[in-house]
A and B are shown apart, each in its own frame.
Chain A
Amino acid sequence: MVNNTILVVGGGISGLTTAIEASEVGCEVILVEKNAYLGGKVTQINQYFPKLCPPNCGLEINFKRIKNNPKIKCYTMAEVENISGQEGDFDVTIKINPRYVNENCTACGKCAEACPVERSNDFNYGLDKTKAIYLPHEFAFPAKYVIDPKACAGSGCTKCADVCQYGAIEPAMEAKTVTIKVGSVVWATGWNPYDASKISCYGFGVYPNVISNVMMERMAAVNGPTKGKIVRPSDGKEIKNIAFIQCAGSRDENHIHACSSVCCMASLKQVTYVREQYPDAKIAVYYIDIRARGKHEDFYVKVQNEMNAVFIKGKAGEIKEDPATNDLIVIAEDQINQVLTEEKYDLVVLATGMQPATALSKVPAAMSYDEDGFLASDPASPGIYGAGCVSKPADVAAAVQDATAAALRAIQSVRRRNNG
């Protein structure tokens, strides 16, 4: 008996797309997401390039499509532990981690008001704090609170449970494992920002004013740690000089070998964030090649013409810090002018690249990978397909395109088995 259900692992923009697109063809879909909410990395992005529109807009449409569609079943806080069997008949073990908050939660927020302890907010890359019981972000879908067991004061404290009128707090909740049967699997666990602290000459993690591009997104976002104001993390001061450093980890034999394909456009976009807030700030972009492919070239031209930013052809080689002021000195070879430059900045943004999630956490099945950990396009296990940034470094449009294609592959897979 062939199972026609499609399992989609990863609830970011790629996984969501595969799940929704397949379900709108009429397939039963199970979507598994590790976080407490769907949407993945794009929920943390302030605006998409080149339209400068908010990701939550498209996510809202996608969530509406899920709400209206009984064919999609979502598990959040869940991870796929094991896949066995074969195309058309997979047994999949899913571990569902405890949220400690049950379906009764109405997201009224009383619990967080009462909670006495705080935790570093990973949604904002540690730039601020939440309570130990928290809503991951305003747009969180599902809109349910969650307890961070590492931060929670534990059994001695019952403050959240005391104020909850709906019996939603369940401190005794335990991880559980479910086994499901599916016909095909789409692996869409996405990417992680490359750990910039590994690029020792840039001082990320040591100098407070060296941040990564993903942190910049949070800072520019109205629902971010600074309510959208771009400031220096060390002292909250406004920005006068800012540098963007491209290929911070990408195109590098010591780090990610491939080009991450999105960072150029992301930095150009972030130039517009800075310019909007600081009409007089000095903005510099250090680059090797500006890769604004296709019609994105228009955006590059626009930024060059209108944003009054300086583009320096030369990979930034080193960042030094003035410990008294936390100002940063970027040393690079300006190759057009054939000089070594040492410029001072208030804030430096590293365009850290994309590392596929599969570089650190492999698919629990026989799959092949390229040298950076991206899933190779010829699946070693028929019936299991990659989608989005586990397959290649991709921007949102390309990831969605790939995820749409993956939906068809997954459908073909189950239908092929039906025929056979």
Chain B
Amino acid sequence: MAKKTGVFICSGCGIGESLDVDALVKVAAKECKAPVCKTNGFLCGKEGVELIKQDIAAGELDCVLVVGCSNRVNYEAFDFGPSVVVERVNIREQVAWSQQPNDEDTQAMAEDYIRMYMAKAKTVEAPEPYIAENLSKTIMVVGGGLAGMTAAIEAAKANYQVLLVEKEAALGGWLNKVYKLAPVKAPHTELEDTNLEARIAEINDNPNIKVYTSAVIEKTAGGPGLFDVTIKQNGNEIIERAGAIVLATGAVPYNPEKLGHLGFGMSPNVITQSMFEEIAKKGTITRPSDGKEVKKIAFIQCAGSRDQEHLPYCSAACCIESIKQSLYLKEQDPEAQAYVFYKDIRSSGQYEHFYKKAQMAGVMFIKGDVTDVSEGDEGTLVIEADDLLMGDKTMADEIDLIVLANGMVPTTAFEEGVYMGLGAVAAVTEGAGEAAASCDAPAVPPATIIKSNILNLQYRQGPELPDLKYGFPDSHYICFPYETRRTGIYAAGSVRRPMDMGQSVGDGVGAALKAIQCVELTEQGAAVHPRALDISFPDFQLTRCTQCKRCTDECPFGAINEDEKGNPLINPTRCRRCSTCMGACPERIISFKNYSVPMIGNMLKAFEVPEEDEEKPRILIFACENDAIPAIDMAGISRLQLNAWIRIIPVRCLGSLSLVWINDAMSRGVDGVLLLGCKHGDDYQCHFMKGSELAEIRLSKVSETLDRLGLESERVQARTVSIMDYEVIPKMLAEFMEKIEELGPNPMKGF
């Protein structure tokens, strides 16, 4: 616990012109009894920083309150090493720049912030990392296809031990079936060898890589640094410890049996892309029906993909694959004819060169909808189509072979062999319903987990990575494509999202880096993204636990299991420090050294709530520190006027919102509480998936309590704020204030 807190108030940047700094000093020194309180006109300057340093040296301060600008700026200037806790009290952007200068309410706000942060300083402690024992830095790669082999090789090249687990007898996955690869390097026009033998040799020759083939994973227990993986191989069970996991089990072709409307099943000469690869790999491209050399071939693109009845998504690789396959035939016989029926040719990026190559070879591309596939004479096939660019009905006959570009489905989308990816319903985790009932709280919608029998995670929240959409366990974030909801497990390649071979290679490398990063940070007891390097972790006072299971239900990362008695069993290395569990716990037994329910509770009890007759209402704002707080800062930077009655408390995530804070605030006479968090729903922007959504669900519960107390539930509201909403915030506050004024003052004032 911080014992000696020094307060340093900056009067620069207009603070001194807007506020009575001497009065602030009085609040800090007299009222809050700060042992040291000094002011400076340029605190972030050399002299100002020196001032703080001297006092740290002389007075053995272990906590410094820098009262001035936002912690978004000048972070380097106020770094005094790990032994000194620095709290930044933002009276620049949030007070001096966004409130009436030299106004008593502005002054009151700044004084309150000093009180609040002094209260915080009393509770805050420097965190110490959780260092687990017997940590492994081994990277386990599941799936020995292109992405998996790449991840294994690349991790090994960076000097990590690698376990590569493949369910088939041989490595290679999809590459085993493929004749050649589409170009992955300049000039992007030449077919490339799969180099499968060389890749496998590289793996076998690398002493850092241990390969398990014909092996499946029975179960995966533990967490980052401590994954205990039971591998079943030839009837034997082997347990290996791994630090992080790359999931690279790839995708499989969409079931062609469902493509009867395109002739599959009608004739043996209607085949899929993978069947065509096998034919090409064998040598001469011939018709399956009679072995006649193929002279005329047609590819039907989007066979299944981009089709609401089948796969609503685009499978991303099929255009390139068909271009490649048409070139196989052209390679065999330049006079052979190849048609490609397409919706859009998606040879994105440098694959445009490859598209041109096929055009040059004489492959004919037809933008059209295939309306019928039928049998012609002597084993040939006939395609009828609407040629959109001809504006007419067209037909192609005497076709020897039709290849359906039947798209891809991730291996994680199947449950007992059944494709679940389409509109898969959330698998209800065992006990979740019961837990919700026992706690008298609205149920949290659980993440969809398809029991695809790949990792068999021993996680209370389900055995596999949560599905994002269509069965792909992808990241939801554009700027963080490797964000994962199961810490230390990174999906790579076509299991993650539809992708082509070139992308799979890159993805394998990227996922390997993330896995490596995870084992390194875990070794230091630090969190991975987005709170990277954070060494705080949640402490559970289990003696007071009522086994309500809220924390285990709500943890977005599945970090908490249960023991036999139903007590939460935290896996600290899985924890991402979002503090959702802290907010979820009705008994308030979960806290971090530097972030806790009492800490925020003390802050909200520290500001003054004027008597009713003073007509100075108080609005307490809990704002997400990732988006809402910067947005409020931006309002200040843009010199927008904010409401004078607000008091803002930043939170790690709205998911950490404890209802007791609202109760405490209301019973102090605070007139309204506003939660500012990130957008939720399908396109959620919360960095911890569901924080703001959970907070709102909790709110619906508190409203009943408020009603019982005779307080209007509208006094507590949640709003969605993005980082760019700073122009909107003043209006939002004004509207909320209007509502509060309508309701009148909180009758609890003065009790």
Contacts and interface: CB of A to CB of B under 8 A. Distances in A.
Query: A and B touching (C-beta < 8 Å)?
Result: yes
Interface of A: 13, 20-21, 24-26, 42, 48-49, 51-62, 64-65, 67-69, 104, 106-109, 138-139, 143, 165-166, 221-223, 227-228, 251, 257-261, 289-298, 301, 313, 335-338, 368-372, 374, 376-378, 392-398, 400-402, 404-405, 407-409, 411-412, 415-416, 419
Contact of A404 (B345, B349, B514): B514
Nearest to B305: A297
Contacts of B345: 289
B727 A412 contact: no
Nearest to B507: A401
Nearest to A394: B349
A165 B359 CA distance: 67
Contact of B683 (A52, A294, A396, A416): A52
A294 B498 CA distance: 5
Contacts of B210: none
Contacts of B482: 401, 404
Given A48-B478, A377-B184, A53 B683 contact: yes
A108 B13 contact: yes
Q: What are the 8 A-B residue pairs with the smallest beta carbon separation, nearest first?
A: A58-B479, A405-B509, A404-B510, A370-B186, A289-B344, A408-B513, A108-B13, A261-B349
Contacts of B306: 297
A257 B626 contact: no
A297 B73 contact: no
Interface stretch (B289-297, B310-318, B701-709, B711-719): B310-318
B352 A251 contact: yes
A298 B312 contact: yes
B350 interface: yes
Contacts of B393: none
Contact of A405 (B314, B391, B510, B637): B510
B724 interface: yes
A396 B479 contact: yes
A338 B513 CA distance: 51
A346 to B, nearest CB: 25
B45, B72, B507, B517 interface centre (most CB from chain A within 10 Å): B517
27 contacts: A52-B683, A54-B722, A56-B630, A57-B685, A58-B480, A61-B626, A65-B529, A65-B532, A109-B637, A227-B727, A259-B352, A289-B344, A289-B346, A291-B346, A292-B346, A293-B316, A294-B499, A337-B391, A370-B186, A371-B186, A393-B348, A397-B481, A404-B509, A411-B513, A411-B516, A415-B158, A415-B159
Contacts of A59: 479
A100 to B, nearest CB: 18
Interface string B524-564: 00001110111000000000000000000000000000000
Contacts of A228: 727
Interface in B485-543: 497-499, 503, 506-507, 509-510, 512-514, 516-517, 520-521, 528-530, 532-534
Nearest to B629: A60
Contact of A293 (B312, B348, B476): B348
B391 A336 contact: yes
Contact of A396 (B14, B187, B478): B478
A397 B185 contact: no
Contact of A21 (B75, B312, B479, B517): B517
A338 to B, nearest CB: 5
Given A57-B685, A378-B185, 13 more contacts: A24-B532, A54-B722, A67-B75, A139-B630, A139-B634, A257-B352, A297-B312, A313-B389, A370-B187, A397-B479, A404-B513, A409-B509, A411-B158
A393 B186 contact: no
Given A25-B520, A222-B724, A400 B481 contact: yes
Given A259-B351, A394-B349, A68 B533 contact: yes
Contacts of A405: 506-507, 509-510, 513
A403 B27 CA distance: 50
A367 to B, nearest CB: 12
B101 interface: no
A396 B480 CA distance: 9
Contacts of B305: 297
Contact of B350 (A52, A166, A258): A258
A370 to B, nearest CB: 4
A56 B44 CA distance: 25
Contacts of B414: none
B222 to A, nearest CB: 22
B135 to A, nearest CB: 15
A296 B348 CA distance: 13
A67 B627 CA distance: 16
A14 to B, nearest CB: 11
A377 B528 CA distance: 29
B626 A57 contact: yes
Contacts of B627: 57, 60
- Size category of the B interface is 35 or more
B667 to A, nearest CB: 34
Among A62, A313, A392: residue with most chain B CB under 10 A = A392
B472 interface: yes
Contacts of A24: 517, 520-521, 528-529, 532-533
B159 A419 contact: yes
Contact of B497 (A49, A294, A378): A294
Contacts of B353: 257-258, 371
A294 B312 CA distance: 9
B157 A416 contact: yes
A392 B481 contact: no
Contacts of A396: 478-479
Interface in B360-398: 367, 388-389, 391
Contacts of A409: 154, 509
Interface in B630-667: 630, 634, 637-638
B601 interface: no
A393 B13 contact: no
B276 interface: no
B687 interface: yes
B80 interface: no
Interface in B91-147: none
Contact of B349 (A64, A258, A336): A258
B470 interface: yes
Contacts of A336: 388-389, 391
Given A24-B533, A291-B348, A138 B638 contact: yes
A221 B725 CA distance: 11
B498 A313 contact: no
A295 B513 contact: no
A355 B482 CA distance: 26
B184 to A, nearest CB: 7
Contacts of A64: 626
Contact of A335 (B13, B389, B687): B389
A69 B344 contact: no
B723 interface: yes
B74 interface: yes
B469 A291 contact: no
Contacts of A65: 529-530, 532-533
Contact of A54 (B157, B723, B727): B723
Contacts of A393: 348-350
A144 to B, nearest CB: 9
Given A57-B722, A166-B45, A258-B353, A294 B316 contact: yes
